[in-house]
Structure 1
Amino acid sequence: MSENKDKSNNNLKREFPFFLSLIPFIVMVGLMYIAVTIFETDPHIPLIMGTVTASLIAFLYGKYDWEDVEDMMFKGIRLALPALVIILLIGLVIGSWIGGGIVATMIYYGLMLINPTYFLITISAICALTALAIGSSWSTMATIGVAGMGIGVSMGINPGIVAGAIISGSYFGDKLSPLSDTTNLASGLTNTDLFEHIKHMLFTTIPSFIIAMIAFTIIGFNVGDTSKSSQEDVQAMMASMQEHFIISPWLLLVPVIVIVAIMFKLAAFPALSLGVVLGFLCHIFVQGGDASVAFDTLTNGYSIESKNDMVNELFNRGGLHDMMYTISMTIVAMTFAGVMEFTGMLQSIMNKILFLAKGTFGLIAATLASAFTVNATCSEQYISIVVPSRMFLKTFIDRNLHSKNLSRTLEDGGTMTSVFIPWNTCGVFILATLGVPAWEYGMYAILNFTSPLIALLLAATGIGITKITDQEKEEFTAQYLKD
């Protein structure tokens, strides 16, 4: 037994050849292109096949036995467990806030702010508010975005510009929302406190949003007046929300209470749990729902059957089951990442990339480039966060850089750039939802391309880069980076 353990420990220290380490990635990327782009299916199976390929190489070259490889998979999954727990809690928050009429209230009052003169900045701000409330850029674009496209086009604005404003606002809210799956993935996989991660993202996200809003304000001065008929979709949506929900400004106290709790340094789990309880109570005592329905909403999500398709699309979601796709994707991706990392294959690839990463600027530039490359090759923004997070975490810590520098960079390079790849799931979704291809809205998705540029600027100047002491490095390494 001890001999086998010693042999396994020796193998774990053995570095795989670079080209041999690339084979699992090549297999995964090739199958990912076929599955996602050609067959339009989910990326789970290509990731599994990549894991199988990596395991076979571990057997044949590293001479690992099955117990070793299985343990590597479990280690990879364990790394994502904190994020998975928060994601489950997010499903409860979304379900309870929809059932309690909180989301409907926020969207309703947001829609009332639309002004023809400042349409572009208004629709961008409304999308930002909605995505911040529900934690989903996709649902925001599929509902508020669809209505905004109709209004904007009727005003004579280029569809690419309207789509750019919608995308910029949606991704701003999604990126800073504690309910967002990608935000939780980036913080969880780098062992960064969720709200520390969100606050650190303000360094790149706020300037990017200001630049975007200035640009949309300038463009907006050249648009014409909107016709009354162009607002019919919005009015119908607001009427439908009034029909199915009690809309009250008092419901806005729920997100305010949660935000105040966060400001007073309440941890993510209790803060979000408080949001679930308040939403659940609003569902019963404000909206008049049965307790059994409110409990079912927490599990299966909210269910609504209105005559308005946009309302149905926006509010038929939430609950634990709504998070299962993200959770299954993360588990499958982390089995692949676990085998790649703990066999040393990922380290072999990382060594080649890091050879070019000199200093803080080079490291952040390499992380941004890696996340964008994964977006372009694997066609999935989740993977652009998962894979680089494991590749670069140890190097950031070794160079006395706080993990929140990495978590922010993953979002700047992964979450934000996913919209520019036409065959990425985000690019495909936007085309299907807003009817505008990536090459038309790309230059107007201002927030999305300025965010990584500002990240590079901060890296070059040192502004917004948080360092850690040698003691903090040792503590982090002992807690998170030891096998």
Structure 2
Amino acid sequence: MMALIIAFLVFVVSMISCLVLGQSILIALVIGLFAFVVVGCTKGFSPGKVFTMAWHGVRDSLVVLEIMFMIGFITAIWRASGTITFFVYYGVKFVTPPLFVLLAFLMSCLLSYILGTSFSVSGTLGVILMALARSGGVDPLITAGAVMSGIYFGDRCSPASSSAILVANVTKTDLMDNVKYMHKTGLIAVLISTGIYAFLSFQNPLQQVDAAIMDSMLEEFSLSLLTLLPAVFILVLPMLKLDIRWAFLGSIVSGFVLMVTLQGMDFLDALKCCILGFVPEQADLEPIIGGGGAVSMLEVCGIIMLSCSYSGIFKGTDMLADVQGKINQMMSHTGRFIMMLILGFMTSVVFCSQTIAIMLCSDLMTKPYLQTGGSRRELAIDIENATVLLSVIIPWNIACTVPLEMMGVGVKTLMYSYLVFILPVIYIFTKRIWFKDSVDKIEK
């Protein structure tokens, strides 16, 4: 147990050092990997055997990595084909001044649900909405809070979301089944948040709209209804019970065709864009819709691979058995979801990454959930309603710092990110509706 504690301390110190020095957290993950390999060796396993366990964990992540690279292609293709710009241009164009904050929330919800990514939406729609808010006399903190709530609505429950795909993979559950339950368990919180942002909208009406960015969009793109086609594949094909990869593939192919035909991009330039990201001709659009591409997912894929290698070591050596035993004891007093809230908060605070927190919560909680009468589906939904959202309220967690930095606001914005707080609280009292049998078992 002492060796495990030391390994975790080494990992935490490495993570903090990387964040302070502005280095990639991949360095901390590599250091942590070797620390846990040493712990495995102290339990009687050879280094080769422990690394084999790590590889088994990585191998289990290959499906997720395939999807991550497809998402990387989509983030560039949607930018270059005009899909994102269509949503942003017409969404902002028809903004009603007294409903600006509400529409900021709803537009962020819609685009993040279709695209499945919080960072891309905060870096595109979020940047534009913040520019409009600052020039139009709307409180930027309230606007950014509405955007944060909206982008993590999609990040939590979109079938295209990398976190939702990761949760389904590590808990061995069906993605679309999870999405259905996330819709149900999040409905009340979404309605309450919508009411709050509607009230704040009337308190903070938009005074004027800067048309310069909108004009640049029209110069850069041909915005016809055809640009919606890549989004249609993402929305419709999962409803037809097709594998999400077919939806991604349809979106990639249709978007690529639009890049070459409708937007007039050279074929080789379009291929380069898919890999390296989109660079718009209009300079003022570069910080808004530039970027994406397969290379943008390299660090995310590295984090997932190394996190999954940890999982392989934990499972193969059973080094978390003592920790899981203590969790079992605590869970008998707190209940499963409260324990998930505690663990989700702690892992998000310490490891500064939503991805790592998801992996650790799955590794630590799977056995206790199943041993106390829970199910893998319940585990997956609890992770989504606790760990995924709690990562957002930790000021130094990547899930919080990246969107806030893109929008140019500070952590005070979190006070207005109502959905992130409301949903876990509502779920505490409504979980019995969705998982009545398992809740009754632990209470008995």
* TM-fit CA distance, 1:154: 5.1
1:426 match: 399
1:43 maps to 2:28: no
- Mapped to 2, the partners of 1:287 and 1:107 lie a distance apart of 17
Q: Within 5 A, what are the aligned runs for 1:460-479?
A: 461-463=432-434
- Mapped to 2, the partners of 1:201 and 1:374 lie a distance apart of 22
> Helix, strand or coil for the counterpart of 2:366?
helix
- Mapped to 1, the partners of 2:187 and 2:194 lie a distance apart of 10
2:425 match: 453
1:167 maps to 2:156: no
> Helix, strand or coil for the counterpart of 1:426?
helix
RMSD between superposed Cα atoms in Å = 2.4
- Mapped to 1, the partners of 2:418 and 2:144 lie a distance apart of 11
- Mapped to 2, the partners of 1:49 and 1:377 lie a distance apart of 15
> Helix, strand or coil for the counterpart of 2:95?
coil
Which consecutive unaligned segments of at least 5 residues does structure 2 have?
Answer: 439-444
Which of 155, 164, 181 pairs up with 1:200? 181
- Mapped to 1, the partners of 2:223 and 2:79 lie a distance apart of 12
Which of 304, 322, 330 pairs up with 2:304? 330
* Residues 466 and 274 (structure 1), Cα distance of their counterparts in 2 relative to 1, 3 Å cut: farther
Q: Per-residue CA shift, 1:80-121, capped at 9, x if unaligned?
A: 222112112222233333332222212222212311111110
1:319 match: 293
* TM-fit CA distance, 1:174: 2.5
* TM-fit CA distance, 1:258: 3.8
CA contact (8 A) 1:48 1:336 kept: no
Range with bigger deviation, 181-190 or 148-157: 148-157
* TM-fit CA distance, 1:216: 1.1
CA contact (8 A) 1:405 1:466 kept: no
Which consecutive unaligned segments of at least 5 residues does structure 1 have?
Answer: 1-16, 468-483
* TM-fit CA distance, 1:211: 1.1
Q: Per-residue CA shift, 1:9-54, capped at 9, x if unaligned?
A: xxxxxxxx3x443222222112212221x21222122222222222
The structure with the largest alpha-carbon Rg is 1
CA contact (8 A) 1:402 1:466 kept: no
Q: Per-residue CA shift, 1:170-195, capped at 9, x if unaligned?
A: 21123233333222222222222322
1:385 maps to 2:358: yes
1:53 maps to 2:35: yes
Q: Per-residue CA shift, 1:322-366, capped at 9, x if unaligned?
A: 21111011112222232233212222212211211139x712222
* TM-fit CA distance, 1:424: 1.8
CA contact (8 A) 2:149 2:418 kept: yes
Instruction: Give the TM-score taking structure 1 as reference length.
Output: 0.84
Q: Within 5 A, what are the aligned runs for 1:6-85?
A: 17=1, 19-36=2-19, 38-59=20-41, 61-85=42-66
Q: Per-residue CA shift, 1:266-305, capped at 9, x if unaligned?
A: 1112222122221122222222223222333332232223
Q: Which runs of 4+ in 1 moved over 6 A?
A: none
- Mapped to 1, the partners of 2:291 and 2:232 lie a distance apart of 22
1:405 maps to 2:378: yes
AA in 2 matched with 1:364: F
* TM-fit CA distance, 1:373: 0.9
1:290 maps to 2:290: no
1:13 match: none
Q: Within 5 A, what are the aligned runs for 1:133-152?
A: 133-152=114-133
1:87 match: 68
- Mapped to 1, the partners of 2:129 and 2:14 lie a distance apart of 36
1:478 match: none
> Helix, strand or coil for the counterpart of 2:37?
helix
Which of 344, 356, 381 pairs up with 1:371? 344
- Mapped to 1, the partners of 2:380 and 2:267 lie a distance apart of 39
AA in 2 matched with 1:392: M
1:179 maps to 2:160: yes
Instruction: Give the TM-score taking structure 2 as reference length.
Output: 0.91
1:245 maps to 2:240: no
CA contact (8 A) 2:124 2:289 kept: no
2:441 match: none
